[in-house]
Structure 1
């Protein structure tokens, strides 16, 4: 077993065998075609425009219609700001999470940009 593999398991604070099992399961899911749905770039851009408009205008009704019932919100503070430690799941929880973020970080000057080849919102 290479030192690099052990080191990666140490980063996750999990035994090497557990990390190897997680990897095996992830590969199985990806190969099995159970990956995430990827919308067309135009649809993704339109959804982000609607979200940004509703958030900037405080239109809670419009905002509540955007996420699917099984929505999942992922976020990353980049090590500089606090972030949710786990993905936020479910429409109600995602909406509460977004509302909390909006109360702390207003989006008046936010704009659409491209990040990693995908549309994104930048403050």
Structure 2
């Protein structure tokens, strides 16, 4: 296979590989770096029997090598760490046709995956999001099939304790519209009707811009917090745009055409169980590039 054909083969797998790396790392820049490293190895390796399988193995193991250092960085992160948002209406993370595929890229799920060991996370993602059998996973990770099954059971045990988020996208869109209207008008009572009793609001400013440094928990506190944001003087100049972010209905905050923030509510049983807000300019770079716009400097 000459270099041109190798490049074509790699590009044919790029979307799937990027989706895999992003699910494992939660960071778009890191995922892109992994794909660059994988391409360099691909271009200089003997031709494999199955390019897709070979690339999947290389990308997975490159991600595993990065996860340990990524966790160390996140332990010293300024305020809550959230995954980087990705606009998914045009397939940036691969197909999101099924409930499982959409759930696997949700900000809530990616945050939960942080609780798993790197090996548990890899097995869980390969099994649930990409439908690999345990025999295939064993070959990718160089472990036994029995070990793959054990890691998957442990991952499921950690995650099954968590609430399952609303999966009906049309229902989510309607709820996001109601949430947005209440927040923009500082309607505390309207927000209270939408919030779960144990709702949590997470804001990721990364120390780069003003944001709550700790999660805000509980209906009353979150309701007042969101209503206060709607009344903030800077809110008057913010343009709000609906979008699909990580497979779910979300809101983009624009300031003079520049991306200033991304807000993604998560719903359980028709109520807001979590609100994820990303305003760290560095984490907005990928989504801004997708829109062809700049990031608000903060």
Give yes or no for TM over 0.5.
Answer: yes
Match of 2:243 among 95, 108, 113: 113
Q: Give the TM-score of the pair, scaled to structure 2.
A: 0.32
In structure 1, what is the Cα distance between the partners aligned to 2:177 and 2:247?
17
1:1-123 map, 5 Å: 5=68, 7-8=69-70, 10-11=72-73, 12-13=75-76, 23=116, 30-32=155-157, 33-39=160-166, 40-77=168-205, 80-104=208-232, 105-106=234-235, 109-123=239-253
Q: Give the TM-score of the pair, scaled to structure 1.
A: 0.69
In structure 1, what is the Cα distance between the partners aligned to 2:185 and 2:67?
49
RMSD (Å), alpha carbons: 3.0
Note the residue ranges of structure 1 that are not aligned, 5 or more in a row.
14-21
In structure 2, what is the Cα distance between the partners aligned to 1:80 and 1:95?
25
- Which protein has the larger Cα radius of gyration, Structure 1 or Structure 2? 2
What is the CA-CA distance between 1:99 and the residue it aligns to? 2.3
Is the contact made by 1:29 and 1:35 (CA closer than 8 Å) also made in structure 2? no
Is the contact made by 2:185 and 2:231 (CA closer than 8 Å) also made in structure 1? no
Q: Which has the higher helix share?
A: 2
Is the contact made by 2:203 and 2:212 (CA closer than 8 Å) also made in structure 1? yes
Runs of 4+ in 1 over 4 A off after TM superposition: 26-30
What is the CA-CA distance between 1:93 and the residue it aligns to? 1.3
Cα distance, 1:114–1:37 mapped onto 2, change above 3 Å: same
Aligned length: 112
Q: Which has the higher strand share?
A: 2
